[in-house]
A and B are shown apart, each in its own frame.
Chain A
Amino acid sequence: MTEALRGLLKSRLFWIALCGTVVLVTLPWVVSAYVLGILTVAYYFGVFAMSWDLLFGFANEVNFGPTFLIGSGAYAAGLLNASGAPIWLCLIAGGAAALVGGVVLAVPALRLSGPYFGLTTLVAVLLLQQFIVIFASRTGGEIGLTMNDILSMDTTTNYWYALGFMAVSGLILFTLSRSAVGLILQASGQDRIGASALGFNVVKHKLAAFCISAVFSGLAGAMLVFYLGTASVGTVVDVSVGVQVIIAAVLGGRRTIVGAAIGSIFLIVAGEALRPLGQLSTFVVSGIALLVILFFVDGLMGLLLRGREET
């Protein structure tokens, strides 16, 4: 265990994340409730993006429909809550439902390559969406599902929940990325044949990566809907939400985990800040993201860490 800890402490990314978290912790005494609300959503988004980055950075699979996992978790939690279960049970159910979804997604993935896998993930989202619409009587369809319970009425408490969740998830995912298992996962993703030649069961490890990504996505999705008070297609299932998750991770810096969180915060805050532009806000944000992937391929983390990790 001490090896893992030592590895963590040596990492520049870890210290950046730690400093960032400390700053974020102090915010409730500094900013308005409005800002805290925006950041709360951004933190849940951060977990979406970090889970996506784990799958991408390790299994080397680009998931074009992360909202399949997020939505499964969110709706499972919501539906269970509608029949009276307490929040903690619903959260567990959300994670479990997403886990099942992750396995379902992994099965074709491990046989497909290139654009086919991407399409499978996209189709999964479309199917989930249709499913929700058909069973509108139970799921609330396009309008959405109102939750029976919510996490808290108080803005600051909700902020702590979200920040805490993001910090803990981030720590777990980040530690994983730096661990021995993480190393094996990276090898499996980058070079399947090379990893097999070293005696590693690539399929087993990729499946594990899917499951981890799924559990965190689903859990985050469940927590988000308990925060918002409703679960709707537009917030947790729609393809456009999935696209934003990918943009956040790429913008922040692929394969850094920490970058995904930073990218999400940037994206959500920028989206809000540009709200006065009305319709054009999406245009501008997409434009910025496009410029980033064209000119700053390694994202915000790449800019921050540029040159220092070279030699």
Chain B
Amino acid sequence: MLELQILIDGFAISALYALGAVGFTLMFGVSGVLNLAHGATMVVAAVTAWVVAGQYAVNPWMAAVAGTGAGVVTAFATYFLIVRPIQRSRSVPAAEKEIFVLTGTLLWGIMIQEAVAYFYTDNPKTVRPLLAGVMQIGGVRTPINELLIAVICWSVIGLLWLLVNRSKAGKVLLAASINPRALTLLGFELSRVYLMVWLIYGVLAGVAGVLLATFLGASSAQASQLTASAFSIVVLGGLGSVSGSLLAAYIVGYLETMTAYLISPTYRTIPALVLLVLVIYVRPRGLLGRR
């Protein structure tokens, strides 16, 4: 029943990748920022959940909420301390702002990573599964938590879709990713739109981080790997395209799972990397990218 195992595990892992990638691509699509402190944000959420669960002996759901909150706080810190000052800076030439934001968030991510490692060591932290127990699906023993993760990820993604496509606020976000000047002319303060994006981003990254902790465990040493995966998935799918990120997350998730099971866990990341290189050479804007 290896195929079924791969199918199920792949689905859960991909869902988690998808959640991480969607936040990343939304951030780029609306505000043009490639947040290289993404992995660190997820790690902060994960470790906060672990600390709260451990030190205050609360149930895992409360810890999850605390972790998500920490994700939001980190996201805002990134915006107010690093990204916004650079974007508003008068000494950075406009053409180089993107690079400075990239380098700045990269350094900030490293600082967060090291700070977490200093206080809590870089051992992987796990949080007790939100729902314990295993289930039999067609003969395969699957932890219920794994299924729950897939369900939560997709619910959050679904909520996001509803928000963007069916709510007034969401339409504003969508418009911001297409033509911010139009919004200004219609009386919307762009600064408030950006605040909204960072809030949503914080929630997405926070939830992804917490779920990662319950599933595979998270350690500060993984921060750059997490950022790199999200980045690769997003570019594969097309920078700024949410559906592209979802598709790419599943392609990558399944490629990794299949490689891990059928070839060897050590070579897990290779097929996806090769695919990424091919895409960059052949179709740089990604599978579903617009530009």
Residues on B with C-beta less than 8 A from A293 are 86, 100, 103-104, 107
Is A243 an interface position by the 8 A CB rule?
yes
Given A250-B103, A283-B115, A287-B111, A123:B284 Cβ within 8 A: no
Check B104 against A119 for contact (C-beta < 8 Å).
no
Is A199 an interface position by the 8 A CB rule?
no
CB-CB nearest in chain B for A291: B107
Check B277 against A290 for contact (C-beta < 8 Å).
no
Residues on B with C-beta less than 8 A from A289 are 107
Residues on B with C-beta less than 8 A from A279 are 114, 117-118
Cα distance, A127 to B228, chains bound together (Å): 12
Check A286 against B110 for contact (C-beta < 8 Å).
yes
Check B273 against A115 for contact (C-beta < 8 Å).
no
Is A157 an interface position by the 8 A CB rule?
no
Check A126 against B228 for contact (C-beta < 8 Å).
yes
Total number of residue pairs linking A and B with CB closer than 8 Å: 98
Check A123 against B111 for contact (C-beta < 8 Å).
no
Given A112-B280, A123-B277, A290:B228 Cβ within 8 A: no
Cα distance, A283 to B112, chains bound together (Å): 8
> In the assembled complex, how far is the CB of residue A230 from the closest CB belonging to chain B, in whole angstroms?
22
Check A123 against B232 for contact (C-beta < 8 Å).
yes
Given A134-B267, A283-B118, A119:B280 Cβ within 8 A: yes
Residues on B with C-beta less than 8 A from A118 are 102
Is B57 an interface position by the 8 A CB rule?
no
Residues on A with C-beta less than 8 A from B224 are 239-240
> In the assembled complex, how far is the CB of residue B40 from the closest CB belonging to chain A, in whole angstroms?
11
Is B179 an interface position by the 8 A CB rule?
no
Residues on A with C-beta less than 8 A from B281 are 107-108
Residues on A with C-beta less than 8 A from B277 are 120, 123, 127
CB-CB nearest in chain A for B234: A119
Is B235 an interface position by the 8 A CB rule?
yes
> In the assembled complex, how far is the CB of residue A113 from the closest CB belonging to chain B, in whole angstroms?
9
By CB atoms of chain A within 10 A, which of B110, B117, B269 has the most? B110
Give the size category of B's interface with A.
35 or more
Is B231 an interface position by the 8 A CB rule?
yes
Check A115 against B104 for contact (C-beta < 8 Å).
no
Give the size category of A's interface with B.
35 or more
Cα distance, A126 to B281, chains bound together (Å): 16
Is A276 an interface position by the 8 A CB rule?
no
Residues on B with C-beta less than 8 A from A280 are 114, 118
Is B239 an interface position by the 8 A CB rule?
yes
Check A286 against B86 for contact (C-beta < 8 Å).
no
Interface hits, B255-270 → A, CB 8 Å: 266-267, 269-270
Cα distance, A118 to B281, chains bound together (Å): 13
Given A115-B98, A133-B266, A279-B118, A286:B280 Cβ within 8 A: no
Check A112 against B107 for contact (C-beta < 8 Å).
no
Interface hits, A282-302 → B, CB 8 Å: 282-283, 286-287, 289-290, 293-294, 297-298
Residues on A with C-beta less than 8 A from B123 are none
CB-CB nearest in chain B for A283: B114
Is B250 an interface position by the 8 A CB rule?
no
Is A130 an interface position by the 8 A CB rule?
yes
> In the assembled complex, how far is the CB of residue B35 from the closest CB belonging to chain A, in whole angstroms?
12
Kindly identify which residue among A64, A120, A130, A246 contacts B280, using a CB–CB cutoff of 8 Å.
A120
CB-CB nearest in chain A for B121: A279
Is A122 an interface position by the 8 A CB rule?
yes
Given A115-B239, A119-B235, A282:B107 Cβ within 8 A: no
> In the assembled complex, how far is the CB of residue A80 from the closest CB belonging to chain B, in whole angstroms?
25
Q: Mark B265-291, 1 if CB is under 8 A from A, else 0.
A: 011011001101100110010000000
Q: Mark A137-156, 1 if CB is under 8 A from B, else 0.
A: 00000000000000000000
Given A133-B266, A297-B89, A115:B103 Cβ within 8 A: no
Is B54 an interface position by the 8 A CB rule?
no
Cα distance, A112 to B273, chains bound together (Å): 18
Cα distance, A297 to B235, chains bound together (Å): 29
> In the assembled complex, how far is the CB of residue B125 from the closest CB belonging to chain A, in whole angstroms?
17
Residues on A with C-beta less than 8 A from B235 are 115-116, 119
Is A307 an interface position by the 8 A CB rule?
no
> In the assembled complex, how far is the CB of residue A64 from the closest CB belonging to chain B, in whole angstroms?
8
> In the assembled complex, how far is the CB of residue B84 from the closest CB belonging to chain A, in whole angstroms?
11
Residues on B with C-beta less than 8 A from A286 are 107-108, 110-111, 114
Check B85 against A294 for contact (C-beta < 8 Å).
yes
Residues on B with C-beta less than 8 A from A240 are 110, 224
Is A100 an interface position by the 8 A CB rule?
no
Interface hits, A217-265 → B, CB 8 Å: 239-240, 243, 246-247, 250
Known A-B contacts: A127-B277, A297-B92. Give 16 more (CB < 8 A): A64-B102, A108-B280, A108-B284, A119-B280, A120-B280, A123-B273, A126-B273, A239-B228, A250-B103, A286-B107, A286-B114, A290-B104, A290-B111, A293-B100, A293-B104, A294-B86
Q: Interface of A with B (CB < 8 Å)?
A: 62, 64, 107-108, 111-112, 114-116, 118-120, 122-123, 126-127, 130, 133-134, 239-240, 243, 246-247, 250, 279-280, 282-283, 286-287, 289-290, 293-294, 297-298
3 closest Cβ pairs, A-B complex: A283-B114, A290-B107, A297-B91
